[in-house]
Amino acid sequence: MSDEPLPPRIRVEALQPAFAAEAAQWAERLGLPLDGAADFVLQLGEQGLQLSELGPGAPGPVRVDFVEGAAAHRRLFGGGSGQMIARAVGVQPGVRPKVLDATAGLGRDAFVLACLGCEVTLIERQPLIGALLADGLARAARAPEIAPIVARMRLLQGDAIALMRQWQDEPPQVIHLDPMFPHRDKSALVKKEMRLFRPLVGDDPDAPALLAGALALASHRVVVKRPRKAPCIEGPKPSYSLDGKSSRYDIYPLQSLKG
């Protein structure tokens, strides 16, 4: 018998009858059933698409919301271009680099950069997370105050290493990477999301190949977000790092960013 854990069982459901047809479309798109036993459920309702774990003690649902909640608070009070991610990617007076976020996740970092005026391409390879992100972007595009921001965000779904290798557009000036790592962030929100996504995503054993692909494609800089005490990704060493309380940014400069 194999010791490999079984893949999680996932189904799709509509939270209200009015969303049944759209839920069926998501199920078909993702190749998931609409009924049967499951460990996770992708639910569609008035607040959009959300992912929930089933069973006792499960955390609450996770959805992407760029309009309200934490994203709105960070947009209004997060510190603008003084934020560590802004400094890491090279935001400065007259400089708003074009960024590829190759490990987009729920899009929080990409949204911060888009708020600051950067054009951001997002890549997410996990189909369920990609679905949450696509739904969040679509809802944000209908909010007049947020629509101009998410208009600067373009989502690609697929394997970032393959997509970077096949890149046809103008190379991004900056590539941002945040590979999955055994995070020890103590915030309840991150713990909830990590618990939910870990069985679906796992760690990123291909992080060295991701870094190599980013260094081959970026025109100006590669930025890698890491837990503060985690080792650097295997491969070339960063030129310098920016350290925060719980995380840091390893910077791999290729050429200067100028206005």
46 labelled binding-site residue: no
125 labelled binding-site residue: yes
Per-residue pLDDT at 58: 81
234 labelled binding-site residue: no
Per-residue pLDDT at 114: 95
Q: Where are the domains of the chain?
A: 1-46, 69-253
| pLDDT digits 0-9 by tens, 83-120 | 899 999 999 999 999 999 999 989 999 999 999 999 99
| pTM of the shown model | 0.89
Residues in the chain where the model's pLDDT stays below 50: 1, 183-189
Is it true that domain 69-253 has CATH number 3.40.50.150? yes
First to last CA, the chain: 60
> Helix 127-140 to helix 188-201 angle, to the nearest 10 degrees?
130
**In this structure, which amino acid lies at residue 253?**
P
Per-residue pLDDT at 160: 96
124 labelled binding-site residue: yes
Per-residue pLDDT at 181: 60
Beta bridge partners, 223, equal: 176, 251
Write b or e for each residue in 216-226: b if 16 or more Cβ atoms lie within 10 A of its Cβ, otherwise e: ebbebbbbbbb
Contact present, 104 and 123 (Cβ < 8 Å): yes
109 labelled binding-site residue: yes
